[in-house]
Amino acid sequence: MKKWENVAFGSSIFIVLTFLPLYLDIFGISFWLKSVCIIAVLFGVLFIVSKIKFLQKQVTKKVGWLTLIALFIIITVLSEFILK
């Protein structure tokens, strides 16, 4: 990874795909509408992340991967507590 932006992209995609489908199921939205909503939210989040200046800074691959893996673990643990 060359920028913090890539770490933010990966974590944003993981967060949206982890939490959004569960909340859309509460409303009883159909599969196709749920898919369109997820794609629209992903594009919106990725657009916003790409505009943040702080995330344009360079980072080494090792630090980027370790940060991304740590975020995946933290989000997975938090989702288990939130969803139960």
Higher pLDDT, 84 or 32: 32
5-53 confidence digits (pLDDT tens): 999 999 999 999 888 888 888 888 888 899 999 999 999 999 999 999 9
Among 66, 83, 52, which residue's Cα sits nearest to residue 7?
66
pTM over 0.85: no
71-82 confidence digits (pLDDT tens): 999 998 988 887
Q: Please report, for the chain, the start and end positions of each structural domain, with discontinuous segments joined by +.
A: 4-83
Note the Cα 13 to chain centre separation in Å: 3
- CB of 36 within 8 A of CB of 21? no
Question: Cα(35)–Cα(15) distance, rounded to whole angstroms?
Answer: 15
- CB of 59 within 8 A of CB of 7? yes
